[in-house]
Every structure is written in structure tokens, then in C-alpha cells.
Amino acid sequence: MKYEPFNDRIYFMYINGQYTGEDELGYLMHDFNCSDYKDMILEEMRESVKKLKTNESEVENMCQIMEELVENGRLQDLNEGILQGNLKGKLEKSISTAHNLYEMGLGLDQIAKALDSDINQVKEWLSIH
């Protein structure tokens, strides 16, 4: 199987949302998980969310945007894109793990069992025919 970029200028970055480091990324993850803007650490994020949640015209605007997304099917497209990204990430992880296990000396049947796959799939991932 050959993997090529989509050339759609869209990039995915996978970040562990449970990360709690004492750095900008940790603060961002903290703020993403806040249900109350008052608990946010990053000032710009806190002020933006406060504006969106407390200003009546901003709330109406957000509701209108969400309704348009649903009506136009774009929300479904976004969800499908996220799902595709998750599946691609899982596939890439399985391929990487298969290579690592093979390099460690495990047999194809053991690798297939460890990855809950079949031997033919593992052979394809390892380019073994």
C-alpha cells in the first residue's frame, strides 16, 4: 500500500489533550478543557471565550454559524475529516508497531495477534510477499 499526501494544504497535529505541563502547550490544553472561562490561564484565550459566551450578539452569531454548518452538511464533513485522520493515525501506528515487532524478532503470526490483524495484512505492512 502506498501512502501519499492529499495535497490539500491541511495538516493534522495529534496532541494528548491530557497533557498538563507547565509550558504554553500545557496551558493551552488546560484552557481547552475548562468549562468556565474564568478558570483559563492564557489571557487571550480567556478574553476571547469570555466575549463569545457573555456578549449576546456573539452568542447569537455563534448559534447562527453552527446552524449554517449543520444545514450545509459542513459539520458532518468536519466530523468525517476528523474520523479519517484518526483512522489514518491508527493505521500508521499499527504499521510502525508491526515493523518494530518484526525487528525485535517476533513472527508474523505473533505480530498479527498482537495487532488484532491477520498475517496477510501484516505482510502487506512489512512489504513481505
Predicted confidence at residue 1, as pLDDT, reads 52
Q: What number of other Cβ atoms are within 10 A of residue 113's Cβ?
A: 14
Q: So what's the pLDDT on residue 102? A: 94
Each residue's pLDDT expressed in tens, for the chain with a length of 129 residues: 566 667 777 777 777 888 889 999 999 999 999 989 999 999 999 999 998 888 888 888 888 888 887 777 777 777 788 888 888 888 899 999 999 999 999 999 999 999 999 999 999 999 886
The reported pTM is 0.43
- For the chain, the domains span 1-54
- pLDDT score for 3: 64
What is the model's pLDDT at position 120?
A: 93
